[in-house]
Structure 1
Amino acid sequence: MNAIGVQIPVRGNPTTEFVLAHRQPLVIVDVANDPRTAPIRELMAERRVASLLLIPLFARDEVVGTIGLDWHVRHEPTTDEVDLAESVSHAVGQAFNNARLYRATQQELAERQRAERGERHQREFVEALHDVTTAMVSSLDLDVVLDRLLADVGRVVIHDAANVLLVDDERQTARIVRSSGFEGIIDRDKLFETVRYDLSTTTDLQVILATNRPYLSADIHRDPNWIIREHSKWVHSFLCAPIWTRGKIVGFLAVMSAHIGFFTQEDAVRLQAFANQAAVAIENARLFQDAQRA
């Protein structure tokens, strides 16, 4: 009868308690009548165990378990049998200890690698943010700034599609001024000319306007705040950060993915940091345009 999965109690079981406490083998010749087997007698009867030998299992100097040898007929183990069982237990204990050490080493290595990856990703993010910020603020042409904003956001947050939206002067709607990832799905000019988001009815943008914080949706198809449009049916994950300056939101930077749950809170923090730098570049370009018109 296969013993895998059989649970044998430790507390209140004199046989196991003896082996753990005294760190030595225990022989039970008459399992059916020995008072020490009373808590496990029913289990032993089901398994037709007549005699029992329990050997402590050591890992280093710690008893981590027992090895049990059962006989279906009454038997008193010889000294040689007990010695052999102890030798086997010692070898098993060494293997068990090696396995524990290996697992601990692998876990430590994995944690170190995760920490190193985190540091590397953070360093790459800081470098990317510096590079794209420098590139954006080096131009006072709004079109150039918006082009670079769209082109460089992928260095900050990986995505399948992205939109840059600007709020109109009356602060009634937001329109897409730059977009990527929708090629072959909707005509670029049509996207820019016809897609408008009413700020009074577009719930996800309302949430951003109310909180000044990024909006993250793991799956827009299950998001009650989202209205699915024909050109975005393939999108699942959505992350949008406000672009705000002088105390008001002037636009939005949105990234999308075809995968459910793709974006994380860390992505939200990074996208917001990038949007904050974009706001400076957009504001400078607009001020320059105003000065040119004056």
Structure 2
Amino acid sequence: MKNDAWQLFQAFTNVECVDEAALTAHFEREGSELVKRDEKLDIRLQELQKFASATTTELQHIFHDRPGELVSTLGRFHQLHSSSALALTRGYQHVVEQQALKSNNLTQELEHRLLALQRINGFSNSAMDLDQTLENTAQVIAEELDVELCSIFFYDELQRVLTLRATNGPRPLGGMHFILRLSEGYSGWVADKGRPLLVNDALSDPNFASEARAYSTPYQGLMALPIIFFGTAERLIGVISVQSSKPREFTRDEMNFVEVIAGIVAINIENGRLYEQTDEQLRRKVHELATIHRVSYIIASTLNLNEVLQIITTQAVHLSGAERSCIFELDPDRRRLHVLAHYGLNPEQAAHLQIGVGQCCAGRTVQTGRPSMAVDCFHADEHCFIHDDPTLSSEIHSVLCVPLKVKQKVLGCICIYSSHRHLLSPEQMQLVVTFANEAAIAIENARLYEETRHGLELKSVLLRELHHRVKNNLATVAGILSLQRRRTKSSDVRRILSESVNRVQGLAATHDLLAHEDVSEARVDDIARKIVGVANANLSPPEKRISYQVETCPIVIPSRAVTILALVINEMVSNAIKHGMADVTRGTIIIRGFEEGDGNVAIQVLDTGKGPSKEHEEQPETPGELSDGLGLSLIQNLIGDLGGRFSLRREALPRLTNGSTDKQGEEEEIVEYTISEVRFPLVRRSRPTYALSS
């Protein structure tokens, strides 16, 4: 303020040599300095006004007796004061306007660069491939910084070289296969030093000029920055550089802009790398689970032990990254191990290979019941089969042995042999343990199956022998009754004995069927054929011509119901011969069976005779109430044991021939049949299932 007052006073007092232009310039500079010093304009104007007011008061005292001079003097002073105040305000306002314009330009520039960053971030998050993303990024950088070239190099850690991955258009003479070593060119220098590089003219430096001249157009202005991922440890991703065709000083803001983009690229590349690793791990896990599932399915679906163990040894090698594997089984004496399955071993060597319990890694694993891993252990172990094989000893270095255990019982072990001089990872070991469990289950299931099959075969032989002996005993009984029949002179007794012989021989034929078929079941048509043969031999009168038809019926009857059903069919056939065919010389008897929708089985005996005296449709509460003879009583009581019912009726049907009607196109012949029928619920024999041991 003193400077302002003094300048104004000097100009006022030196009337003849006053320089108004210099005064105005002084106050404009003072106004500009106010903005720079962040001072208030109104305070300076108020202070200048105070000086003017004080000066006016003094002039009034000096020229109070000379009014004319007072007016002239005050006019000149106020003119200088007004000019000074305006110049001070003008200087202040000019700087303020310049700052506002600069701020507005900076805001627009920041907004534009923010949009550029958003575009680049959008490229990184899009589904486009990496090369296209980098090309778009380089194009945006070149447009935003108004440069002719933007290049992005990636660093190869193994080969320690930089490889060009993207540019905004211009390509070096080597194309996209342009490679730089560390410290070579400006990109190699930035990668080696790990810090930004700003050069006004890259052509002036021989080391940088080699890369700058690698393009068809040499570039001078240069800014290059490293692309670094800052994670748990810093990792160089590559280098990003921009160049102009003319010398150029890049600003700090421009460098900050490229640094942000370098960070986006680094994160994008690292995320892609992590995604590939995760995706690869996921694919490997899926493959491992699928393999384990396939092995488990094979174990559950087949009892072929050799096939299962061969698959286990093969997959254990492939999934663990080893070269050879072997499954050892503990001998019954529990002293030695022999090979059950192997992968990558010599078949002749594996066939004769035996290891004592406690010897070698396999023997010690079986002895302790715990997994073990070792590297180059066979050099000092004379009992190891690898020790004496120079071919294997030069290729195998590490071994993993896992015991095969079922319910704390050790059955053997699985060994994985690898050429790597390091132990398997916990994940690889867990895979081998899983396969060991699968192998143990397969071996135990095979043993249980063989024991069960042997037991069933023994029981089957014994039961067939029992049926054979019962058949022989019944045949003896039938023979005695036949002798008695021939000796008697009473026709009624002879008839009764014939029926008894027929029943006994029917039972004998049934036991003969069970002695030659599955001891636990028999087909309906097989039972019917046996009974028809016996009945035809014993009951068919020689003067009658009776034809028999047994329709195919694959329904299988459990052994509990076979003998009962045989007696029932025998009685129904006997009734058809004795009563149905009593007054005819020729006829047909048909036996057929079928399964109904409600789970019941129906067995029918049809004859072409004259029919019964009355029909039976329902089974009574007391079987004797409906009995017209011993035969019907037997049928009713026997079928009642199976929870079934018996009926006897007359029905007109198309003529039956081998279970079918006449051929198409011919007129059907309607025949009256007498139908004796039994219906009973079918109880199927449940098949044995083999549970997997845990």
**Normalised by the shorter chain, which TM-score bucket?**
0.5 to 0.7
> Which residue of the partner structure matches residue 134 of structure 2?
146
Cα displacement (A) at 1:273: 0.7
> Which residue of the partner structure matches residue 123 of structure 2?
135
Cα displacement (A) at 1:220: 1.5
CA, structure 1 residues 116+24, in 2 after alignment: closer, same or farther (shift >3 Å)? closer
1:160 pairs with 2:142: no
> Which residue of the partner structure matches residue 319 of structure 2?
none
1:240 pairs with 2:227: no
CA, structure 1 residues 90+282, in 2 after alignment: closer, same or farther (shift >3 Å)? same
> Where do 5+ consecutive residues of structure 2 fail to align?
1-5, 28-47, 53-66, 285-694
> Which residue of the partner structure matches residue 226 of structure 1?
208
Q: Is the 1:25–1:55 Cα contact (8 Å) retained in structure 2?
A: no
Q: Could you say which structure has the higher helix fraction?
A: 2
Task: String of CA shifts for 1:128-160, please: whole Å, max 9, x gaps.
Answer: 323321321223622232223223324653322
SS of residue in 2 equivalent to 1:99? helix
1:94 pairs with 2:78: no
SS of residue in 1 equivalent to 2:145? coil
| In 1, Cα distance between equivalents of 2:185 and 2:119 | 33
Task: String of CA shifts for 1:5-39, please: whole Å, max 9, x gaps.
Answer: xxxxxxxxxxxx8x949x97479xxxxxxxxxxxx
> Which residue of the partner structure matches residue 177 of structure 1?
165
TM-score, length basis structure 2: 0.29
Task: String of CA shifts for 1:24-58, please: whole Å, max 9, x gaps.
Answer: 7479xxxxxxxxxxxxxxxxxxxxxxxx7879989
Residue identity in the other structure for 1:105: Q
| In 1, Cα distance between equivalents of 2:150 and 2:86 | 51
SS of residue in 1 equivalent to 2:180? strand
Cα displacement (A) at 1:165: 0.8
Task: String of CA shifts for 1:218-240, please: whole Å, max 9, x gaps.
Answer: 22134465234252764221111
| In 2, Cα distance between equivalents of 1:236 and 1:204 | 14
| In 2, Cα distance between equivalents of 1:94 and 1:154 | 53
1:1-294 aligned at under 5 Å gives the runs 20=9, 25=13, 60-61=48-49, 87-88=75-76, 90-139=78-127, 141-154=129-142, 157-180=145-168, 182=170, 190-193=174-177, 195-202=178-185, 205-210=188-193, 212-223=194-205, 226-228=208-210, 229-231=213-215, 234-245=218-229, 246=231, 247-288=234-275, 291=279
Identity of aligned residues (%): 18
Computing the radius of gyration from Cα coordinates, the structure with the larger value is 2
Q: RMSD of aligned C-alpha atoms?
A: 4.1
Residue identity in the other structure for 1:226: F
Residue identity in the other structure for 1:157: L
Residue identity in the other structure for 1:237: G
Cα displacement (A) at 1:256: 1.0
TM-score, length basis structure 1: 0.62
Residue identity in the other structure for 2:208: W
Residue identity in the other structure for 1:236: Q
CA, structure 1 residues 25+288, in 2 after alignment: closer, same or farther (shift >3 Å)? closer
SS of residue in 2 equivalent to 1:226? helix
Higher RCO (Cα < 8 Å, 6 or more apart): 1
SS of residue in 2 equivalent to 1:227? helix
CA, structure 1 residues 139+148, in 2 after alignment: closer, same or farther (shift >3 Å)? farther
> Where do 5+ consecutive residues of structure 1 fail to align?
1-16, 28-51, 64-78
